[in-house]
Amino acid sequence: MTDPHRLIGSLQRAGVRLALDTTDLSLLVALKARAERDSLVSFEEEELYSIFEQVFDLTEPDAQNPRKRATYAIQRLREQRLLSRVDGVGLAGPGEYSMTRLAIGIVDFFTADEALTRESLALLTKTLASQLTEVLREARTATDADKWRLAVVNPLRITIGELVAGIERRQRGLDDQQDEIRAEIGRLIQRDWFAAIEQSESLLERTTRTLQELNEVLLQDAGHLQSLLQEIEQLASQAGAKEAEAAAQRVSEQVDRVAAWGGARLRSWSDYYQLVQRYLRDVVRLDPERALSQRLRDQLANWPDQRFHLWTARSGRIRLLRDVDAKHDRPPVRRPRENRDRELAITARADPMEQLAARVAAALADGARTLADVVVCALPSVPTDEQYRAAGNVIALVARNAVAEMERERPWRRTIGKLHIEDWSITPKEKP
């Protein structure tokens, strides 16, 4: 490496900087993917615009004028030495561009990080075990809250958490890879029916081997990692270090997930493997010309005119007989016979006011000397919703048949239900 001071100085003078947002990274990834797919070493300008517009459709679908944005993106990437123009035409015509080493290195960093192999997984789990051993040693000698936080909690959250997250990231990468392989097998079979057998089987075998290896590593190492974490958790619990205990539990759950992933993926891939093998054996090998599907399609389309029905067995279940009860004779249904006609009686319709007047007169004759007493005697037989109006009639009758005494204060008294009246002292009038 050249003199770092000189290099730093020249960078400062030239104002070199690197500023990439997510869209810029996506553009570089798209360029690299296209270059690998089509074995390109450079891109023509129109091709560059086309790729960039496709990326903008995904990353910024609502953005206006993608062509202009693509122009700015190309300029930005050139200024940061991620794209270089490789033709000699100059400004006179459209150019040709290629990715620089810097751009390729940046893309490789993000894509290579997702690769999961037996070696990378073993390295990660061994590193994880080593870090946990160190944390356990610190946990055994931690005496106060600060020590627990610095020597146990922080490493668990940051360093170890990142390692486990790294494994999970790689697992996601392998999941994506498996999805791609399934899609590839589907495409192979659709494109080249019979010839796809060998290629499909090769893809299946390779992925099965990878998953088996990964699962072996996980089974071996997960147990050791969990025992280290359990010991840390126990020490934290005994010391009352709740934060450390919680951090250890979280990492333990992450390790569980990582270990469970291996078994689940192997089972799932095993089912898929059997499905494809069965398909290749039962369908592809029996019908290398792919004519069977077309004949079946014709059979179904013509079925309404050429009906046939398959037979299947249908033997009824064994009948379970219920216990026999002796039959009892039930008496016949009868109804009483009688003359249901009744003589109608003629009754006079009672006048409610006359009845009320009679009750008021009776109350006065019995010695009622206050308005409230008369109301209490006269209203009980009146329905509740009519009592208020009837009370008014009672007072009118009392005024006709008695004399009210003028008193300075007349108390309010409750009579029947919720009916309150201002009570008057009364004296019945003498009858002529």
Give residues in contact with another protein (CB under 8 A): 182-183, 185-186, 189-190, 193, 271-272, 275-276, 278-279, 282-283, 287, 291-293, 295-301, 303-304, 306-317
- Choice between 189 and 391, CB closer to another protein: 189
Residue 303 DSSP one-character state: T
User: Helix H segments across 142-241?
Assistant: 145-148, 154-155, 161-191, 196-239
- Residue 123, classed as helix, strand or coil, is helix
- Minimum distance of another protein from residue 276's CB (angstroms): 6
Which residue, 298 or 407, is less far from another protein as judged by CB?
298
- For residues 424 and 371, give the distance between their C-alpha atoms in angstroms, rounded to a whole number: 5
- As a whole number of angstroms, the distance between CA 412 and CA 403 comes to 19
Smaller CB separation from another protein, 266 or 376:
266
Which contacts (CB < 8 Å, 24+ apart) does range 277-281 have? 277/201, 277/204, 279/189, 280/197, 280/200, 280/201
Nearer to another protein, 289 or 343 (CB): 289
61: helix, strand or coil:
coil
Nearest approach, Cβ of 177 to another protein (angstroms)?
A: 15
Q: How far is the CB of 315 from another protein (least distance, A)?
A: 4
Residue 109 or residue 311: which is nearer to another protein going by CB?
Answer: 311
Taking the C-alpha atoms of residue 328 and residue 347, their distance in angstroms, rounded to an integer, is 53
Q: Whole-number minimum distance, CB 182 to another protein, in Å?
A: 6
> Residue 100: exposed, middle, or buried by beta-carbon count in 10 A (0-12, 13-18, 19+)?
middle
Residue with Cβ nearer another protein (137 or 295): 295
Q: How distant is the alpha carbon of residue 395 from its chain centre?
A: 73
> Least distance to another protein from the beta carbon of 267, Å?
13
CB of 264 to another protein, least distance (A): 14
- Helix-helix angle 196-239:118-141, to 10 degrees: 0
Q: Among residues 27, 35, 74, 85, which one has the least CA distance to residue 51?
A: 27
For residue 36, the minimal CB distance to another protein (Å) is 24
What does the chain come to in residues? 432
Instruction: Return the number of the residue (255 or 284) whose C-beta is nearest another protein.
Output: 284
Structure tokens at 36: 């690998």
Query: Residue 74 corresponds to which tokens in the numbers above?
Result: 């190309």
Any residues with CB less than 8 A from the CB of 178 and at least 6 apart, and which? Answer: 207, 265, 269
Nearest distance, CB of residue 189 and another protein, angstroms: 4
Toward another protein, which CB reaches closer, 206 or 290?
290
Contacts of 230 (CB under 8 A, 6+ apart): 252
Instruction: In angstroms, give the least distance from the CB of 211 to another protein.
Output: 16
CB atoms within 10 A of CB 353: 11
Contact between 51 and 77 under an 8 Å Cβ cutoff? The reply is no
Nearer to another protein, 29 or 188 (CB): 188
